[in-house]
Amino acid sequence: MRLSVILVGSDSCRIEWRLPDRNTDELLLESAGQGDAAAFQQLYERHRNAVFRFAYRLSGSVENAEDLTHDCFLSLIKRVASFEPGRASLRTYLLAATRNLWLKQLRTLGRESALDEFDENDFVAPSKAPLGRLLDNEMALKVAEAVASLPPLQREALVLFEYEGISLNEIASMVGSDVGAVKARLHRGRERLRKVLQPYLNSHREIVTLEKA
């Protein structure tokens, strides 16, 4: 149990005993490590969407993202009994594992970048949608394509920092580099995105202005 002191007024308070949250990642990992399949399933349900989104932004392919997500949680199953929450959060571990699996995938394919075909049905709104919504979805597709076209090291730095909100220090530790190198990759990635997307933005500026009028 945990003791909590709650202020009621300027000169009074009450004391409560509260049971600890049994659904934290740490406690679920502990249970999963002891063979509790339901606990692992709960962890999977909690983190699978985030892992898939991260894998998709890295690989640019729904199929590859599904494979990476599957392999990421498979790696967690294999080491859940020895997982040490104090060394890193589960989210950080899952992102790092996904990143390593993606790089292994690139090496296996012998490719410098992984730019696969996109299914526009995943992004484009129905034909009756307002023009602004169509443009938003089209822009999302263009950004996703542009990110997927970046060199792998620039892509992972940008996705981890801009999409996942990971600090520069954490990224440097995750990828085995120094902060200066991560900053440089971020800068080059942003500049490349700007150059790739600028023609599209210029061509749609007039349409967006008309939509707002």
What was the pLDDT predicted at 149? 87
Return mean pLDDT, the chain: 78
Helix (H, G, I), strand (E, B) or coil at 4: strand
pTM: 0.68
DSSP letters of 32-68? HHTT-HHHHHHHHHHHHHHHHHHHHHHH--HHHHHHH
**Please, what are the domains in the chain?**
22-117 (1.10.1740.10), 119-213 (1.10.10.10)
Using DSSP's 3-state secondary structure scheme, residue 159 falls into helix
Q: Of all residues in the chain, what percent carry a pLDDT higher than 70?
A: 70
Average the pLDDT over 144-148 and give the result: 86
**At CA 161, angle to CA 160 and CA 163, rounded to 5?**
70
Average pLDDT over residues 32-40: 92
**pLDDT tier, 20 (very low <50, low <70, confident <90, very high otherwise):** low
| Cβ atoms of residues 157 and 189 within 8 Å | yes
Model pLDDT, residue 40: 94
pLDDT tens per residue, range 119-143? 333 333 333 344 444 445 677 778 8
Question: What is the pLDDT averaged over residues 90-106?
Answer: 92
